[in-house]
Amino acid sequence: MSSENITKEEVAAIFPKVAEIMADALGCEVAEVKPDASLIKDLGAESIDFLDIVFRLERGFKVKIPRGKIVEDARGSLSEADFEKGGVVTDAGVARLKDFLSEVPPDRFPSPLKVAEIPKLFTVETFCKMVIRQQRAAPPA
């Protein structure tokens, strides 16, 4: 259980719209977009697709999502030096990531984990949680 208290109900409430947006962005069927699907491994997303998805989520949910937000949020209170060394996530960083990305099964975390590989962990639910965080930060007027 993550320390940030995003409930399954909150995720379930926005998942259908997120799934529709992702299916549009990735050119796949909505049925393929499962909450635990890895964007890269299961849905074939590339870096341009991440940009596309973030912009579509911004428009769809009327929130602002600064790029790099997931990794920045994942680091939390850890300094960059405490989070990674030489491009590899530290033990403290991995612990923080496992808490923050609680939707990602632990066996999907490689060891060692390179910073560049973090996006490979992201699931559809990861993006649902990102939207919820941004909605909480700036609720619609």
Q: How many C-beta atoms surround the C-beta of residue 130 within 10 A? A: 21
73 binds another protein (CB under 8 A): no
| Near another protein by CB under 8 A: residue from 55, 76, 98, 119 | 55
Phi, psi of 84 (to 5 degrees): -145, 150
Q: Contact region for another protein (CB under 8 A) — 8-16, 49-57, 93-101, 132-140?
A: 49-57
Sign of the Cα pseudo-torsion (90, 96, 101, 105, in order): positive
11 vs 45, beta carbon nearer another protein: 45
d(CA 29, CA 10): 23
Which structure tokens are listed for 124? 């559809």
* Site membership for another protein, residue 105 (CB under 8 A): no
Interaction of residue 48 with another protein, rule CB under 8 A: yes
Q: Residues 93, 75: contact at Cβ < 8 Å?
A: yes
| CB neighbour list of residue 80: distance below 8 Å, 6 or more residues apart | none
**Which listed residue (24, 32, 99, 117) binds another protein by CB under 8 A?**
24
Using CB under 8 A as the binding rule, whether residue 27 contacts another protein is answered as yes
- Count, residues near another protein per rule CB under 8 A: 14
Judged by CB under 8 A, which stretch of 39-47, 84-92, 104-112, 127-135 contacts another protein? 39-47
29 binds another protein (CB under 8 A): no
User: Partners of 77 in the beta sheet?
Assistant: none
Cα 88 to Cα 26: distance, rounded to the nearest angstrom: 29
Q: Choose between 66 and 110: whose C-beta lies nearer to another protein.
A: 66
Residues in the site for another protein, rule: CB under 8 A? 24, 27, 44, 46-49, 51-52, 55, 59, 66-68
